[in-house]
């Protein structure tokens, strides 16, 4: 899948919905990995001034879902994938800066996929780790 095809696939969807509210930006996309970034602001905080855990859950789900979708398109299977389980571990708190999320496939099968998403701060320290199981949905 070329970068242009990826841009066409995500045109009109990235930057809308929850991803748009969060400010999530895809900086690299392909069937084997997606890298996305988000600048943390006060709108991402919980009452104690650090990033709300739900933000990490949402980033993980979004990046894993995009990854699963691109893999289905690249293989010719088609269709889409929807999350059926999201497990996120919060490892380090942060109140500002840029979060970079990178997806890695664990399993990609006919019916389901399992993706890991690591979220790190600028110095590379791991902030959160998400594992998302997705159900492949036929195009019909």
Q: Can 61 be counted among the known catalytic residues?
A: yes
Q: Could you tell me which of 40, 30, 37, 45 has the C-alpha nearest to residue 15? A: 37
Given 8, 25, 42, 61, the catalytic residue: 61
Yes or no: say if 72 and 79 are a contact pair by the CB < 8 Å rule.
yes
Cα separations in angstroms, 31 against 1, 34, 55, 66, 87: 7, 8, 24, 9, 22
Q: Residue 52 contacts by C-beta under 8 Å, 6 or more apart in sequence? A: 44, 45, 46
**Residues recognised as catalytic:** 61
């Amino acid at each position: 899948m070329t970068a242009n095809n990826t841009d066409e696939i995500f045109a009109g969807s990235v930057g809308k919905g929850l991803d748009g509210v969060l400010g999530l930006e895809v900086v690299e996309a392909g069937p084997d990995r997606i890298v996305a970034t988000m600048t943390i602001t006060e709108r991402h905080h919980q009452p104690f001034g650090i990033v709300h855990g739900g933000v990490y859950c949402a980033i993980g789900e979004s990046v894993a879902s995009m990854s699963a979708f691109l893999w289905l398109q690249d293989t010719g299977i088609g269709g889409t994938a929807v999350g059926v389980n999201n497990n996120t571990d919060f490892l380090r708190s942060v109140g500002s800066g840029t979060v970079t999320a990178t997806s890695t496939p664990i399993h990609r099968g006919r019916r389901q996929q399992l993706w890991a998403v690591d979220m790190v701060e600028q110095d590379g320290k791991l902030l959160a780790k998400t594992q998302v199981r997705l159900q492949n949905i036929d195009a019909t």
